[in-house]
A and B are shown apart, each in its own frame.
Chain A
Amino acid sequence: KAGVTQTPRYLIKTRGQQVTLSCSPISGHRSVSWYQQTPGQGLQFLFEYFSETQRNKGNFPGRFSGRQFSNSRSEMNVSTLELGDSALYLCASSQGAENTEAFFGQGTRLTVV
């Protein structure tokens, strides 16, 4: 069974640009969550999608957005990039119930210059 796939693995963008990251969950999983990992703030929850609907959101500005498609694949978008957006962005997939575990992808390392 394939794991969680995130593309691309590495990305370099310039301040002010926008970026789209992609996540393909484990087959059969309907929940996709996104996290930002930085040395200073650690792992922070961005948002969660379940059956194409956002059902939870973290404390990030509106520049951070996401969506989920009917095949459960998800994308997150960051507009007007800032230097502070440089981070490892992790996607997690789960079946959706609260007592089920989340499986993480390898992450996308975003560097903003």
Chain B
Amino acid sequence: AQSVTQLGSHVSVSEGALVLLRCNYSSSVPPYLFWYVQYPNQGLQLLLKYTTGATLVKGINGFEAEFKKSETSFHLTKPSAHMSDAAEYFCAVRVSGGYNKLIFGAGTRLAVHP
């Protein structure tokens, strides 16, 4: 069965510091992987996706993620945090053969301090 593990339910960084949010997945077949961001009382906004091809994926708002098959990881990074990045971030895997069913990680709440 496919699953997603996000290491660290809370991450705190200073403004301008590197953001690293960790995601590991379990899948018996090549996965489709996604990162979403959720602001308070809002829905989910897609940051980036990996389907096939280039393993370094660039998304919106300066975020990027690298698919590492050998490590079954899809960590999200941003070189310099901004106050507006404070939100909850979710990693998700699409179930192969499950059409549009997404399996989500538990989420990581990112706090950015001045």
Task: Point out residues on A near B: beta carbons under 8 Å.
Answer: 4, 6, 31, 33, 35, 42-43, 45, 48, 50, 55-56, 58, 90, 92, 94, 96, 98-99, 101-107, 109
Within 8 Å by CB of A56, from B45, B51, B52, B99, lies: B99
Find out whether the CB atom of B46 lies under 8 angstroms from the CB atom of A107.
no
> In chain B between 46 and 83, which residues have their CB closer than 8 angstroms to a CB of chain A?
46, 49, 51-52
The distance in angstroms between the C-alpha atoms of A33 and B52, with both chains bound, is 23
Residue of A56, A90, A101, A103 touching B101 (CB-CB under 8 A):
A56
Contact partners of A94 in chain B: CB under 8 A: 100
CB closest chain-B residue, reference A43? B104
B contact residues vs A (CB 8 Å cutoff): 32, 34, 36, 41-46, 49, 51-52, 90, 94, 96, 98-107
Which DSSP category, helix, strand, loop or mixed, fits chain A's interface?
A: strand
Complex Cα gap A54–B98 (Å):
12
Contact of B94 (CB < 8 Å), options: A58, A96, A98, A105: A98
Closest A residue to B34 by CB, please name it: A101
Given contacts A42-B106, A43-B104, A98-B32, are A55 and B99 in contact (CB under 8 A)? Answer: yes
The answer to whether B42 and A106 touch across the interface, beta carbons within 8 angstroms, is yes
A45 adjacent to B43 (CB under 8 Å): no
CB distance from B51 to the nearest CB of A (A): 4
